[in-house]
Amino acid sequence: MFDLDRWVEIWVTITRNKTRSLLTCFGVFWGILMLVILLGSGTGMKNGILGNFKGFATNSLFFYTDRTSEAYKGFNKGRMWEMRNRDVEGVMQSVAAIEDISPVIFGSNGDKNIVYGQLTGSYSVKGMLPGYFNIESQELLYGRLLNEIDIREKRKVCLIGKQVNETLFRNQDPTGKYIRVNGLYYQVVGVVKPRSSNVSIGGRSEESVFLPFSTMQQTLNQGDILHILCMSVKAGYPIQGVINEVTAILKAQNEIAPSDPQAVGIVNIAAQFATFNMLFVGLDILVWLVGMGTLLAGAIGVSNIMMVTVKERTKEIGIRRALGAKPLTIISQVMSESLVLTSLAGLIGLSLGVFLLDVVNKLLAANASSSNGVTFFENPEVHIQTAIAATVVLLFTGLLAGLIPAWRAMQIKAIDAIREE
């Protein structure tokens, strides 16, 4: 049952020496405040860094060609080679772990290569399959994405990036209108905005024009050459196994030595995400260690003060014992005082830490529209699970801080305590 007199007694005991209690509370307050701020800052850093990759499939791979480093089947070392359509077909038929795949080719991005009426601009031109937009996803602002019919019929259609639309059409809906791309006219079927503004393949998507892969291959008049092979891997399949399979197919179909380590270049986005995740796990562990160390220092301060309080109340405890107070009553009294002292300081620190993170988050959100560079800090916050964990740690620390003083109080004999001067 809730005993009001008991809690009043605890409060009177704590406030009897206000200066000492405040200084003792400060250690716990500072420890939990630092823990919350460090955890929130770690989350903000994680959100900022991973936000730069938002829009890219975390299981994506990108293959490109490089010079051979070994002579093979009559070909000299240092030979430059090109991937072709047959390589895409071979990979699609032989590698079951691929979820989406798209070859990519790049066109000329010369001066004023994109024209609409009297308006011009210089932008990147890319050709790809519809599956590419599952690897580097785009936010559709107007119209539609490229589809399989565009590829099969080699339609002269295009998607344009947000910046291209702003330059040529003043942010109006351009679907159905025609623009000139590297001297040829294409009908605009949609406008896209990249979900990731800091990572892109072959130029920023908002400053690019996207053409159907088959159409662009035909207009470039370079045969069936492609520049980059992009793909994503199905969940549950090992990334390295897919890399080995695809690399072996590319080497076999292009007369490259199986042991050549240089001829096939690879950008492994999955490995980069795994590295970041390991970094953040280590950061979380470090934050908890530092925060717990600071909190433990505050708990030791509480324990020391409770030891002093027990010593000051030796005679009082002896009288309680002589009047028949049970050992559990003495122990619970001391531990309750320690728990109240720790909890008050800790909850104030926890609340202040969450408030400060919220203020920082609002300031970052207010400045987000004017920030164009790479962001390394975004949305610092403490998740509810973390707050609960911090509260549990706080309560446990409070009980731990009162354990030794409570044991010391139990060692006091009633007759010796009454004689204490």
C-alpha torsion sign, points 241, 242, 243, 248: positive
CA 90 to chain CA mean position, Å: 35
One domain for residues 66 and 114: yes
Among residues 235, 268, 301, which one ends one of the domains? Answer: 268
pLDDT digits 0-9 by tens, 9-58: 667 766 677 777 777 778 778 888 888 888 888 888 888 777 767 777 78
One domain for residues 183 and 294: no
Alpha-carbon distance of 34 to 298, in angstroms, equals 12
Q: Work out how many domains the chain is built from and give that number.
A: 2
Radius of gyration, CA atoms only, the chain: 34
pLDDT digits 0-9 by tens, 156-201: 999 999 999 999 999 899 999 999 999 899 999 999 988 765 666 7
Q: Residue 99 class from Cβ within 10 Å (0-12 exposed, 13-18 middle, 19+ buried)?
A: middle
Query: Which letter, b or e, does each residue of 159-184 get, where b requires 16 or more Cβ atoms within 10 Å of its Cβ?
Result: bbbbbbbebbbeeeebeeeebebbee
Among residues 220, 243, 268, which one ends one of the domains? Answer: 268
Tokens linked to 256: 């490259």
Distances (CA, A) of 350 to 209, 213, 272, 368, 388: 50, 55, 34, 27, 10
pLDDT digits 0-9 by tens, 134-168: 888 888 999 999 999 999 999 999 999 999 999 99
pLDDT band at 413 (very low <50, low <70, confident <90, very high): low
Q: Is the pLDDT of residue 1 over 50?
A: no
One domain for residues 137 and 252: yes
One domain for residues 158 and 64: yes
Tell me which residue range forms the domain holding 92.
60-268
